[in-house]
Amino acid sequence: MELNNQNSFGIGEGELIEIIYELPLPMRLDRWLVSKRPEQSRARIQHFINSGLVLVNYKTAKAKTPLKNGDNIQIWMPPPEPLIYLKPEKMDLNILFEDEHIIVINKQSGLIVHPAPGHKSGTLVNGLLFHCKNLPGINGKLRPGIVHRLDKDTSGCMVVAKSQEALVNLQKQIKEKIASREYIAVIHGAPNSEKGQIVGNIGRDKLNRLKYKVVEETSGRYACTYWKLEERFGNYSLMSFKLDTGRTHQIRVHCAHINHPIVGDPLYGRCKKLPCKLDGQALHAIKLGLIHPINGKEMIFESELPLDFQKLLSVLKVK
C-alpha cells in the first residue's frame, strides 16, 4: 500500500514514496524494493539504501534488513539523471501506435536499440529522443523508456514507455508474463515434430564474449522457448516462437543449441550460402500483446515482415 506523506528526508526536489510492507513472511529490503520498483536495477536500489535514501520505520536501514508485516518504508527517489551525451536525432520510425503514454514501433533490422560503448549515436533511443520530447530521464541515462529490447539485426514490434507510470506497469507485465511476444523465423533444417519447447539455461560463452550458449543448470539463467513448425521448405523451415523468459539472444541461442540455427545469423548461424541476401538474421518480432498501462485496454499489435524476409520466403517456396 502506497501512502502520501511529507518528505522525511529534507533533501529537496525528488519523489517521496511511502509503502507499508504487507507480506506475511520476512523479505530482504533490497529484494522487496526491486519487486516494487522494477524500473530500477538492484544495484541502483542498493545505492539508494547505502546513501540513506531509504528509511524503515523512519530509520536508515541496510540492504539485507529483513522486513516484517506492517513495517513503514520510505524511499526518496532522486530526480531523473540527465542523459549525458545522448543527442536527439531525426530518424524515420515505423510507428504502429502512439499516445501520450506509450509508443509501439516496428523496428528495422540493423538498428541498435540503446547506446553502448562505441555506439553513442544512430540508435533507436536517439531517434526516440527526437520524436518524444518528454522522454529524457525515464529509466536511467542510456535506456530512457525502454521496456524490452530487440537485437540489432532482429526486426519487429517494440513498445516504449513515455512516462514513468507506464514504464513501471509495462515492465511488470513483461516480468509477470501478462504481455506476450511472438516471433517468426526461418531456420536451417526441420524439427522432428510439429511443436515443442526448448529449455536450457543461458550464459555467456567464455571463448567469445559476444556470444551466449546453453550452459549447465547450476550456472547461467533459466530460459524457456516455445516453438511451432509453420511450414517446411526442403532444408529450411518457417517457425513461430513464444518466449516464457526473455534472455539475451534467447531464440537464436536455443535454435543453435538444437542444431537448427536461424538463417543469416552472423553469430550462431551456419556458414552457408544463403538463398538470398538478408539484412540480418531471419528473425522478426511479429506480434506484441499487452494491457494499456493507463486505461487497461487489451491491445495486440502486428508488424509487417521486412522486404528481405518476404523475399526469402518467396525464394524458398519456389524451390
Of the pLDDT bands very low, low, confident and very high (cuts 50, 70, 90), residue 86 is: confident
Distance from chain centroid for Cα 199: 19
127-144: average pLDDT: 70
Task: Give a yes or no: residue 88 inside a domain.
Answer: no
Task: Give a yes or no: residue 291 inside a domain.
Answer: yes
Burial of 285 (0-12, 13-18, 19+ CB in 10 A): buried
Q: Domain ends where: 162, 188, 208? A: 162
d(CA 127, CA 90): 6
The pLDDT, as a whole number, for residue 161 is: 92
Sign for the CA dihedral angle at 289, 291, 294, 297 comes to positive
244 is catalytic: no
> Per-residue pLDDT for 138 more than 80?
no
The pLDDT, as a whole number, for residue 93 is: 94
Together in a domain, 138 and 208: no
> Per-residue pLDDT for 82 more than 80?
no
State the total domains in the chain: 3
Lowest mean pLDDT segment, chosen from 93-107, 139-153, 197-211: 139-153
> Per-residue pLDDT for 13 more than 60?
no
Task: Give a yes or no: residue 144 inside a domain.
Answer: yes
Task: Give a yes or no: residue 87 inside a domain.
Answer: no
The pLDDT, as a whole number, for residue 254 is: 98
Which of residues 227 and 78 earns the better pLDDT score? 227
Together in a domain, 220 and 132: no
Q: Which of 151, 153, 205, 265 is catalytic?
A: 151
Of the pLDDT bands very low, low, confident and very high (cuts 50, 70, 90), residue 153 is: very high
Together in a domain, 305 and 197: yes
Together in a domain, 136 and 70: no
207-214: average pLDDT: 86
The pLDDT, as a whole number, for residue 270 is: 76
Of the pLDDT bands very low, low, confident and very high (cuts 50, 70, 90), residue 108 is: very high
Most confident segment among 52-56, 138-142, 249-253: 249-253
Question: pLDDT digit string (tens) for 22-53?
Answer: 998 999 999 888 877 766 778 888 989 998 99
217-239: average pLDDT: 93
DSSP string, 244-260: SS--TTHHHHHHHHTT-
Residues of the domain holding 147: 95-162
The SS3 of residue 75 is strand
Of the pLDDT bands very low, low, confident and very high (cuts 50, 70, 90), residue 117 is: low
Task: Give a yes or no: residue 169 inside a domain.
Answer: no
Together in a domain, 274 and 146: no
Of the pLDDT bands very low, low, confident and very high (cuts 50, 70, 90), residue 279 is: confident
Together in a domain, 188 and 151: no
Together in a domain, 40 and 110: no
> Per-residue pLDDT for 306 more than 70?
yes
> Per-residue pLDDT for 8 more than 80?
no
Domain with residue 37: its CATH number is: 3.10.290.10
Task: Give a yes or no: residue 49 inside a domain.
Answer: yes
Which of residues 62 and 36 earns the better pLDDT score? 62
Residues in the chain: 319
The pLDDT, as a whole number, for residue 11 is: 44
Percent of the chain surpassing pLDDT 70: 87
The pLDDT, as a whole number, for residue 250 is: 96
> Per-residue pLDDT for 56 more than 50?
yes
Together in a domain, 189 and 154: no
d(CA 45, CA 211): 29
Which of residues 14 and 106 earns the better pLDDT score? 106
Distance from chain centroid for Cα 14: 27
Q: What are the Cα distances from residue 180, in Å, to 22, 82, 157, 170?
A: 29, 32, 11, 11
Beta strand spans in the chain (E): 2-3, 15-20, 27-28, 54-56, 59-60, 66-67, 72-77, 95-98, 102-107, 155-161, 180-188, 195-199, 202-204, 212-214, 224-233, 236-243, 283-291, 298-302
Task: Give a yes or no: residue 279 inside a domain.
Answer: yes
Paired with 141 in beta bridges are: none
Together in a domain, 221 and 266: yes
Together in a domain, 273 and 198: yes
Q: What is the mean pLDDT of the chain?
A: 87
The pLDDT, as a whole number, for residue 144 is: 77
Domain with residue 202: its CATH number is: 3.30.2350.10
Together in a domain, 156 and 192: no
256-284: average pLDDT: 89
Together in a domain, 215 and 304: yes
In degrees, to the nearest 5, what angle opens at C-alpha 123 toward C-alphas 169 and 143? 30
The pLDDT, as a whole number, for residue 265 is: 93
